[in-house]
Amino acid sequence: MTGTLVLAAIAAAGFFVTRATPIDSSALAGHVGDPASGETIFIASGCASCHAAPEAEGDAKLVLAGGQRFESDFGTFVAPNVSPHPEAGLGSWSLAEFASAVQQGVSPDGRHYYPAFPYTSYTRMTDQDVVDLWAYWQTLPADATPSQPHEVGFPFNIRRSVGVWKQIYLEDDWVMASADTPEIERGRYLVEALAHCGECHTPRTALGGLDRSAWLEGAPNPTGRGTIPALTPDELTWGPTEIAYYLETGFTPDFDSAGGHMVAVIENFAQLPASDREAVVAYLKALPQPKP
Amino acid sequence: MKKHLAFAIAFAALGCGTSVYAQEDFSAQLKARQGQFRIMAINLGILGGMAQGKIDYDAEAAQAAADSLVGVSMIQQPPMWPEGSDNMSIDGTRAQPTIWEDKVDFLSKWEDLGTAAAGIQAAASGGVEALGPAMGQIGGACKACHDTHRAPES
């Protein structure tokens, strides 16, 4: 009897800790959204790189109709429609609902998003930037294409289990604990929050969480083909101007060119100010040597 | 016993026809297509070095490099990309099967490179300022194709 009670208590506690907790909307009060600044956040965060329709080019990339497929060990995730369409997209959302999705991975109906959506990085986004991003979002075209379901099998199709996962892997502190200059600090914000570089360049644990002890040390490609290179100073030995030039043009120091998903990343970085690319370089050069 | 052997050979010929084909050595084609990209990289290095200010701008050298890019862009591609020379069938290449699944797309991307090369050819001797944007066009053409048709480094 006592055993049953204890079990029930544990289950209840588990149910409590795994619930989807939206952000406290009062945190956003007092911020006024600036769509022009939001556009920069949008580009740096690579929103369109995943949420634009497959094969979209140019201005069509601003139509966030969804449909791109992302293979992983856990199944195939299909990017949803996040355009401001009232039914197909998120046109009916409030700012607080948007912020909960981006910073906490919680949907307006109180469910957990799969971490294919990199809220584990966006959780470090400032409130002001989320508000600006939302202001910019209102200027984007609406699209009526319905979202496609993810192709995820048991047990990963139990959304509640993502709540347990978040207890372990959703952390909003910085991986690089101290940023010694304002430039490194800006680079840290770009790399660890907006551009979410760690999501591909850091290996994952068996549960699919980022292994922070091997931060940016390179990882297998989630598609199963090839590897994503390390960005740590022992491996990425390019000079500062070479890295900045790569982020701007996609050319490596020996004038090979970027491929795969990095093409989309460079397309975004090319639109940011040169100082932002230099800040990323400063951050990468400040990374510690990996432990052997 | 003999009968078994004959059967086995017939079976192998029938069922594994494609894998016998895949054993084919495409080393000449691989060398040729990888070599053409290497020629481009060397000439892009000259133009990119000038654009970045690492090398002093020299109109004649820039023009020669840009002309070389145009030269490479005029090489006809299909003979260097025979069926079965993709990275699923043979080693030593990062060419994805998508090249053969969507040949029209692949060749139109090669044509885009030709357009970008013509652009830098027109701009090369007109001063260093024009090199940056023209390099951007070339880089865009490279990435557009590598995005879909080249496998990541393993």
DSSP H or E stretch at residue B153: none
Nearest CB among B41, B52, B151 relative to A225 is that of B151
Pairing of strands A219-220, A151-152: unpaired
Confidence of residue B4 (pLDDT cuts 50, 70, 90): low
Q: A29 pLDDT exceeds 80?
A: yes
User: What interhelical angle do B131-149 and A240-249 show, nearest 10?
Assistant: 70
Task: Give this complex's ipTM.
Answer: 0.75
Say what the pTM is: 0.85
Are B29 and B82 in contact by the 8 Å Cβ rule? The answer is yes
DSSP string across A92-151: T--HHHHHHHHHH-B-TTS-BPPTTS-HHHHTTS-HHHHHHHHHHHTTSPP--PPPPPPE
What's the mean pLDDT in B54-76? 97
Q: Do A227 and B147 touch (CB under 8 A)?
A: no
Residue whose tokens read 């049953």: A4
Give residues with Cβ within 8 angstroms of A51, minimum separation 6.
Answer: A64, A65, A66, A68, A79, A80, A81, A82
| Dihedral angle sign, alpha carbons of residues B13, B19, B25, B29 | positive
Please tell me if residue A271 touches chain B, with a CB cutoff of 8 Å: no
Q: A3 pLDDT exceeds 90?
A: no
Q: Give the separation between CA B62 and CA B51, rounded to whole angstroms.
A: 10
Please tell me if residue A228 touches chain B, with a CB cutoff of 8 Å: yes
- pLDDT for A220-273, tens place per residue? 987 777 789 999 999 999 999 999 999 999 999 999 998 888 999 999 999 999
- pLDDT for B101-133, tens place per residue? 999 999 999 999 999 999 999 999 999 999 988
Q: Do A226 and B142 touch (CB under 8 A)?
A: no
Residues of B in contact with A251 (CB under 8 A): 44, 48, 135, 139, 142
**What mean pLDDT is reported for chain A?**
91
Amino acid (1-letter code) at residue B13 = A
| pLDDT at residue B17 in the model | 40
DSSP E strand stretches across chain A:
69-72, 75-78, 151-152, 219-220, 227-228
Nearest CB among A226, A255, A257 relative to B143 is that of A257
Give residues with Cβ within 8 angstroms of A216, minimum separation 6.
Answer: A191, A197, A198, A201, A202, A230, A231, A232, A284, A287
**What mean pLDDT is reported for chain B?**
87
A25 vs B54, residue with greater confidence: B54
Q: Give the separation between CA A150 and CA A80, rounded to whole angstroms.
A: 9
Rounded to a whole number, what is the distance in Å from the CA of B45 to chain A's nearest CA?
6
- pLDDT for A93-113, tens place per residue? 999 999 999 999 999 999 999
Burial of residue B114, with CB atoms counted within 10 A of its CB: 0-12 exposed, 13-18 middle, 19 or more buried: middle
